[in-house]
Structure 1
Amino acid sequence: MTAPSAAPAERSRPGPVIYRVNPVAKLAATIPLSLALVLTLDWLSATVALLLELALLGWAGLGWRQFWRRTLPIWLAAPLAGLSMVLYGQASGATYVQFGILHVTDGSIAIGVATALRIVAIALPAVVLFVTIDPTDLADGLAQIVRLPARFVLGALAGLRMVGLFIDDWRSLALARRARGVADSGRLRRFAGQSIALLVLAIRRGSKLATAMEARGFGSSLPRTWARASRFHRADAVLILIGTGIAAAAVVVSVTAGTWNFILGGS
């Protein structure tokens, strides 16, 4: 008689606690916070959420250099978005500058500040948490916990794994074209040519990958087995509770102070 197959073992993840948290829990923790801040446009709720997030980001396990490198686009995009709202947002209150459609008022300044703070408060924890997610662990969690179709999850995982190869292909194409003397001038023409070549390589590699996965039974409708188990633990529940608590604190403080501005309510 054949022995029954052993249950899949969980993957050990060394390092800070955040790296050992289930990726599904990280996604779930950002949902209530994002919903709470998307439904309102006021500076107080975003400020409360941002301060609480900054107090906890030290436990994320990222060094300061890596933290600033990963989050630099957020710190650049948020002020630009806030500035556009200051210049072109809804006018109300005292007017400070007015030139054509450009106007700076008390209302537009408040909207601009709230917009910038809200972008940072929503994007910052998402970026920091997603940096600590391993794609394979995420695929295991989505298939085993969320119960998404295995074919879709594995296909997305395989496509994500190809991103690194595309970067290497782009560099190889640039070096090859430079060696042939066709990349010395015409930056736009060179970029267009390399993009088409990379697209052709991507289509060919994708076709080969799809054929190989089908040959190995990845497209079967039979229930799949998994090499590693994906389960929820206490740390996962704690992270979800932290995300929910930050969202609740931001809403309660904003409503209590009277700054809550429910966007769907038209106020």
Structure 2
Amino acid sequence: MTTWLARRDATAKLLAALLVTAAVVTTLDPLAMLTVIAVLCCALPLTGLSPGTLWRRGWPILVSAAGVFAFTVLLGSRDAPVLAHVAGLDVRANAVGYGLRLLALGLPGFVVFATIDPTDLADSLVAHLRVPPRFAIGALAALRLAPLLAGEYRLIRLARRARGTHRGLFSTLFGLLVAAIRRGIRLATAMEARGFDRDGPRTIARETHFGWSDAFVAFAGLALAAAVIMLKFAHA
């Protein structure tokens, strides 16, 4: 990816996402949540992903937010003020707040990790945050393996369908868990054989530089987090 946001340092983007997420957790104010969602939706084109790819990657966040909203409408607290009546149900402020907060919590990580290369992330963590190489390389391996799990899941379902075996979701997920553990064991053995587990100084193949544009990304996250806190107290 060659977009402006994709070229920024991984540590700066990760810090910005953590600041926004920490601020969102502290409030249920709908205006604060809508502000975060609007800003991050404007940042989605900077990821360089097509609308179809954004939808395929982001639909779980929307489904989860809708599920939380429906659950809160049906079984949530009845003390919150009623905002609307839909199909005989009271839509209360807490249901809207929880649904919007889940979206506001999921979008920062979605935008950040859509623009981060796993290798750049590991190099940046070691160079700027002095993270031990063992943990940085472990994070790199996890991010590299995550897309493979989706393909593994499809293969398991197709294999069972070819055999005429129609089992439930939990059975398929258990098979995916077993396959992930086996793949992880093989990867750990291969990494240890190549010396990744040895102590001693390590070098970084690609040098990373934290410039003014990277600082701007971190400052933008701080500004958005501050706006959320200010809106929280303004409507307290």
TM-score (norm 2): 0.81
Q: 1:81 to 1:140 in 2, by over 3 A?
A: same
- Among 220, 224, 230, which residue is 1:252 paired with? 230
How far apart in 1 are the matches of 2:223 and 2:123?
27
State the Cα distance separating 1:225 from its structure 2 match. Answer: 0.9
Moved more, 111-120 or 151-160: 151-160
Give aligned pairs, total: 233
CA deviation map 1:20-52 (0-9, x unaligned): 011111111011211111111221211222223
CA deviation map 1:84-142 (0-9, x unaligned): 1122222226789xxxxxx965xx71000111111112212321221111111111112
Q: 1:113 to 1:148 in 2, by over 3 A?
A: same
State the Cα distance separating 1:53 from its structure 2 match. Answer: 2.5
1:186 aligns with 2:165: yes
Query: Residue 42 of structure 1 contacts residue 111 of structure 1 at CA under 8 Å; is this kept in 2?
Result: no
2:51 is matched by which residue type in structure 1?
W
SS in structure 1 at match of 2:5: helix
Instruction: Tell me which residue corresponds to 2:214.
Output: 236
How far apart in 1 are the matches of 2:80 and 2:175?
52
Query: Residue 169 of structure 1 contacts residue 198 of structure 1 at CA under 8 Å; is this kept in 2?
Result: no
Q: 1:191 to 1:42 in 2, by over 3 A?
A: closer
- Among 105, 113, 120, which residue is 2:96 paired with? 113
State the Cα distance separating 1:240 from its structure 2 match. Answer: 1.1
Consecutive unaligned residues of structure 1, counting only runs of 5 or more, are 1-13, 97-102, 261-267
Q: 1:59 to 1:167 in 2, by over 3 A?
A: closer
- Among 13, 19, 23, which residue is 1:36 paired with? 23
Query: Residue 166 of structure 1 contacts residue 202 of structure 1 at CA under 8 Å; is this kept in 2?
Result: no
Q: Percent identity?
A: 36
- Among 111, 120, 130, which residue is 2:113 paired with? 130
Query: Residue 5 of structure 2 contacts residue 46 of structure 2 at CA under 8 Å; is this kept in 1?
Result: yes
2:23 is matched by which residue type in structure 1?
A
State the Cα distance separating 1:222 from its structure 2 match. Answer: 0.5
SS in structure 2 at match of 1:16: coil
2:208 is matched by which residue type in structure 1?
S
How far apart in 2 are the matches of 1:92 and 1:174?
45
SS in structure 2 at match of 1:18: coil
Moved more, 188-197 or 214-223: 188-197
Instruction: Tell me which residue corresponds to 1:264.
Output: none
SS in structure 2 at match of 1:228: coil
Q: After the TM superposition, which residues 181-220 of structure 1 pair with which residues of structure 2 at under 5 Å, given as runs? A: 183-188=162-167, 192=171, 199=178, 202-203=181-182, 205-220=183-198
Consecutive unaligned residues of structure 2, counting only runs of 5 or more, are none
How far apart in 2 are the matches of 1:189 and 1:126?
30
State the Cα distance separating 1:198 from its structure 2 match. Answer: 7.7
- Among 129, 133, 136, which residue is 1:153 paired with? 136
State the Cα distance separating 1:249 from its structure 2 match. Answer: 1.5
Moved more, 58-67 or 72-81: 58-67
Q: Which has the larger radius of gyration?
A: 1
CA deviation map 1:140-168 (0-9, x unaligned): 11222121111222233234434455566
TM-score (norm 1): 0.73
Instruction: Tell me which residue corresponds to 2:200.
Output: 222
1:55 aligns with 2:42: yes
CA deviation map 1:57-82 (0-9, x unaligned): 33332332322332222222212211
* RMSD of aligned residue pairs (Cα, Å): 3.3
Query: Residue 81 of structure 2 contacts residue 93 of structure 2 at CA under 8 Å; is this kept in 1?
Result: no
1:82 aligns with 2:77: no
State the Cα distance separating 1:194 from its structure 2 match. Answer: 9.7
Query: Residue 157 of structure 2 contacts residue 172 of structure 2 at CA under 8 Å; is this kept in 1?
Result: no
